[in-house]
Chains A and B, each alone.
Chain A
Amino acid sequence: MAILTALLSGLIFGLGLMVSGMSNPAKVLGFLDIAGSWDPSLAFVMVGAIVVASLAFFIARRRKRSLLGLPVQLPTSTAITPRLILGSAAFGIGWGLAGFCPGPALVALGAGYPKAIGFVAAMVAGMAVFELVERAKAGMQRA
């Protein structure tokens, strides 16, 4: 059941990205180009998403278990670290270069665009580098 609801959530999420225009890199770059001919549409995506999701998190925060009986696992970290800032900055540069963030890239991959497939492959490589570096660090701490 948890697999089915995950599939459904991903599907709804993907359709939302398509309807909103987020899954089109040209639209994203038009939003990020404040100094040019600015298309502010994507600010409305955030407004719509937050209106609905904040209600859901308001409910979820008060529960130990989800409707399927799974533990509610919300992030607990509140630390604002150099890692958070530098990571977000690197992400933002990548986002501004190609107009893709992770969700829209996976939607475009599903639509069969070769460059989206290339983007996702490079993204997974970046995530793998993070894993290897973190594992090496953890290994050194143990030794």
Chain B
Amino acid sequence: MLIDVAHFTPGLSLTGGLIIGVAAAVFVLSNGRIAGISGIVGGLLSLPRNDIGWRLAFVAGLAGAPVIAALLGKPAQVDIEANWSIVLVAGFLVGLGTRYASGCTSGHGVCGLSRGSLRSLVATLTFMAAGFLTVFVQRHLIGG
């Protein structure tokens, strides 16, 4: 196993993680809910259509973060290697999969593991394994 030392950012990643933890903490302590992003977005589509307000507000906060960061002189770094058709297929799988799984990296990964949920641990191990495998196939079997 080779470690990519040039891109390794343990300090920043840990700091970012702590900030994400603060966000989940603020949300559960004030709104009484899990900061699970697929659930928050998916709930906008489900019936009966209630709590649209806070759901949209949370999404607006997420999408507003890079705008505020850019105003502070720190624009978001986003490098998308995938081509358009991959992007669309991936988006569809992420939307469908997270709804069937009742959660994504935030709901199962951050919040579920913080609650000590075995169900969330199984979900997290499954999507991570699928992610590792997909990148392996794409970069080393097909692309290699």
Enumerate chain A interface residues (CB-CB to B < 8 A). Answer: 2-27, 29-30, 32-57, 59-61, 65-68, 70-75, 77-80, 83-103, 105-111, 113, 115-116, 118-131, 135
Contacts and interface: CB of A to CB of B under 8 A. Distances in A.
Contact of A14 (B47, B57, B66): B66
Nearest to B83: A115
Given A87-B101, A92-B131, A127-B41, A19 B92 contact: no
Nearest to B42: A127
Interface string B67-104: 11110001111111110101111111111111111101
Contacts of A80: 118-119, 122
Contact of A24 (B17, B28, B64, B77): B77
B81 A21 contact: no
Contact of B12 (A19, A74, A111): A19
Interface residues of B, number: 115
Given A6-B54, A46-B113, 7 more contacts: A12-B19, A16-B20, A18-B76, A80-B122, A89-B97, A97-B89, A103-B62
- Summarize B's interface: helix, strand, loop or mixed: helix
Given A50-B114, A98-B87, A126 B66 contact: no
A30 B131 CA distance: 11
11 contacts: A25-B78, A37-B2, A47-B14, A47-B17, A57-B28, A88-B126, A93-B134, A94-B93, A97-B90, A107-B62, A108-B66
Nearest to B109: A46
Given A46-B113, A130-B95, A13 B61 contact: yes
A129 B90 CA distance: 15
A42 B4 CA distance: 12
A69 to B, nearest CB: 9
A125 B99 CA distance: 11
A25 B81 contact: yes
A111 B77 CA distance: 9
